[in-house]
Amino acid sequence: MKKTFVKEKGKVLKFLVFEDVYEPAEDSLLFLSSLPESLEGKILLEIGSGSGVISVITALRGARVTAVDVNPKAVENTLLNAEKHGVRVDAFESNLFEKVKRKFDVIIFNPPYVPTEPGEEKDLLSLAWDGGPKGTKVIERFLKQFKEHLKDKGECYLLISSKNGLRKELEKQGWKTVNSKHLFFEELYVMEYEKKY
């Protein structure tokens, strides 16, 4: 088991990260810095919670959080970190929205976006980053489903990479770029969609 530390409102918070669960990295921190500092009273869904860092911090910011992950170890990890930080997170196993039955004010997703070659060996951890040949396999499924689970005037945040070539297409669909970070091999973008009606 690993430990990771995240700064939040002047405090350093410690999180435990299980084997076979994605360890928070630059993309996680960029995503976290792009979310509102106050989520008081918001009903929030995180798809792909991993170790639960973002779910826990959004709960600390006042949201009522539901977290799902396709990896059962990630669900267990999220619940442990929520308990450790004294917040309630309703976490369960689900492949995207498969077992999600309600609508939310805010939906957030840091998806698997790394392009992979067919036939590459995969394990439980790869569920967190394996985006298929173009890195868009999971994102495309998410984009077809998220509006059904977003309340009127709700917001959705999605992280994408310049390697996916999705940014211009998303902008045509009403998404806007709210944050970005340049890494030596790619640019990461946090995109936001607001449901107007």
**Whole-number Cα distances in Å, 91 to 51, 53, 117:** 11, 13, 31
Give the architecture (CATH level 2) of 2-194. Answer: 3-Layer(aba) Sandwich (3.40)
Confidence of residue 175 (pLDDT cuts 50, 70, 90): very high
Could you read off the pLDDT of 21-38 as tens digits, one per residue? 988 988 999 999 999 999
Query: 47 with 68: CB under 8 angstroms?
Result: yes
Q: Give the residue-averaged pLDDT of 59-68.
A: 98
Element (H, E) at 75: helix 72-84
Q: Does the structure show a pLDDT above 70 at 122? A: no
pLDDT recorded at residue 130: 67
Could you read off the pLDDT of 139-151 as tens digits, one per residue? 999 999 999 999 9
Any idea where the domains of the chain sit in the sequence?
2-194
pLDDT recorded at residue 121: 61
The upper half-sphere exposure of residue 165, i.e. CA atoms within 13 Å in the direction of its Cβ, equals 5
Among the residue ranges 40-44, 142-146, 157-161, 164-168, the one predicted with the least confidence is 164-168
Q: Where are the beta strands (DSSP E) in 18-115?
A: 43-47, 64-69, 89-93, 104-109
